[in-house]
Amino acid sequence: MAQYQSVVFDLDGVITDTAHYHFLAWRNLANKLGIAFDEAFNEELKGISRMESLEKILVKGGVADQYTAEEKAVLADQKNVEYVALLVDMSPSDIFPGIETLLTELRAQGTKIALASASKNAPMILDALGITALFDYVVDPDEVPNGKPAPDIFVRGAEAVGADPKMSIGVEDAVAGIRGVLDAGMFAVGVGTPEQMEQAGAHLVVEDTTDLTVALLNAKYQK
Ligand code: B16
Ligand code: MG
């Protein structure tokens, strides 16, 4: 039996690469509004909610005060329609390598599994990937008061499956997400470059999800 009670996963960038589709849809919207948008700026939007992402883009363009709340809601909706259309061909082959085995082996050893994604599209994406049944709980981002980098969504994920967050692991690819995992008192696993993830404070870093195995988690986990 592992020493940890649950593993709480981020979705985009950990389980599948929807980050690229978010980038394409935001870039299109930003370009329509005459705002420059590149991969570097997109990094700042990872793990951040849809409306907060839009706000950051408008602030970057110096036009945040030129839109009413209703107009912003319409813009966010336009981005989401385009984003969801880009996901239409998503299938189990889009799960990052090693992740389905990891989920299956965690279940087999009795570890609870939760999803803590900022995405309102997360349930639809898990269905398209065919892995909904492998999760004990999927947190709705609307059920917690504060989004990432706050720890709320990770605490909720662990507690919803009956686990102590301080006896749990959080897996994230975004700097904002690692912050939340750490503030939840969890062991933080970062998926990404050692430079970025170690700077963010991750306890364990994997560059590739194929390295993210139950054996590694069991060997490296520390309370
Ligand atoms: P949606 P994660 C986050 O997912 C994305 O990283 C972020 O770029 C996106 O804005 C957010 O979900 C909201 O997504 O527009 O689908 O509700 O990384 O927390 O799984
Ligand atoms: Mg992510």
User: Whose Cα sits closest to atom 5 in ligand 1?
Assistant: 47
Ligand at minimal distance from the CA of 43 is: 1
User: Per residue, what are the HEC states of 63-115?
Assistant: CHHHCCHHHHHHHHHHHHHHHHHHCCCCCHHHECCCHHHHHHHHHHCCCEEEE
Which CATH number does the domain housing residue 150 bear? 3.40.50.1000
Q: Is 140 a catalytic residue?
A: no
Cβ–ligand 1 distance for 126 under 6 Å, the answer no
pLDDT (0 to 100) of residue 34: 96
Question: How many structural domains are present in the chain?
Answer: 2
What pLDDT is recorded for position 47? 86
Which are the contacts of 91, defined by CB distance < 8 A and separation ≥ 6? Answer: 128, 129, 130
Q: What is the CATH number of the domain that holds 53?
A: 1.10.150.240
User: What pLDDT sits at residue 223?
Assistant: 87
CA of 141, closest atom in ligand 1: 17
User: Which tokens is 59 given?
Assistant: 């602030």
Nearest-10 Cα torsion for 4, 16, 181, 98: 30
Contact indicator for 171, 195 with CB cutoff of 8 Å: no
What pLDDT shows up at residue 120? 96
Query: pLDDT digit string (tens) for 76-135?
Result: 999 999 999 999 999 999 999 999 999 999 999 999 999 999 999 999 999 999 999 999
12 Cβ below 6 A of ligand 1: yes
Decide if 152 is catalytic: no
Position 174 scores a pLDDT of 92
- Could you tell me the pTM of the whole model? 0.93
Give domain status of residue 36, yes or no: yes
Is residue 40 in some structural domain?
A: yes
Neighbour-count burial of 51, counting CB atoms closer than 10 A to its CB (0-12 exposed, 13-18 middle, 19+ buried): middle
* Alpha carbon of 76 to ligand 2 centroid (Å): 19
CA dihedral 195, 199, 202, 206 (to 10 degrees): -10
| Domain match, 72 and 110 both | no
Task: Please give the residue range of the domain that contains residue 165.
Answer: 6-16+91-220
> Is 13 a pocket residue for ligand 1 (Cβ < 6 Å)?
yes
Are 145 and 101 found together in one domain? yes
Considering 89, 116, 150, which residue would you say is the last residue of a domain? 89
Cis peptide before 149 (omega within 30 of 0): yes
CA distances from 52 to 41, 58, 207 (A): 14, 10, 28
Residue nearest atom 8 of ligand 1, based on CA coordinates: 46
Q: Confirm whether 1 is domain-assigned.
A: no
Centre of ligand 1 to C-alpha 121, Å, is: 8
Ligand 1 lined by 11 (C-beta under 6 Å)? yes
Residue type, 112: K
**Which pLDDT belongs to residue 31?**
96
Which residue's CA is the closest to the ligand 1 atom numbered 16? 119
CA 177 to ligand 2 centroid distance, Å: 7
User: Which residue CA neighbors atom 1 of ligand 1 most closely?
Assistant: 119
119, 126, 179, best to mutate for ligand 1 pocket (most atoms within 8 Å of CB): 119
CB–CB of 204/222 below 8 Å?
Answer: no
- The low-confidence residues of the chain, meaning pLDDT below 70, are 1-2
183: amino acid identity, one letter:
D
Task: Please give the angle made by the CA atoms of 212, 125 and 152, to the nearest 5 degrees.
Answer: 70
Look up residue 171 and give its two tokens: 């897996």
Residue 95, φ and ψ in degrees, nearest 5: -70, 135
For atom 17 of ligand 1, the residue with the nearest CA is 119
101 lines ligand 1 (CB under 6 A): no
Cα–Cα distance between 17 and 195 in angstroms, integer?
A: 20
End-to-end CA separation in angstroms for the chain: 15
Rounded CA separation 163/207 (Å) = 27
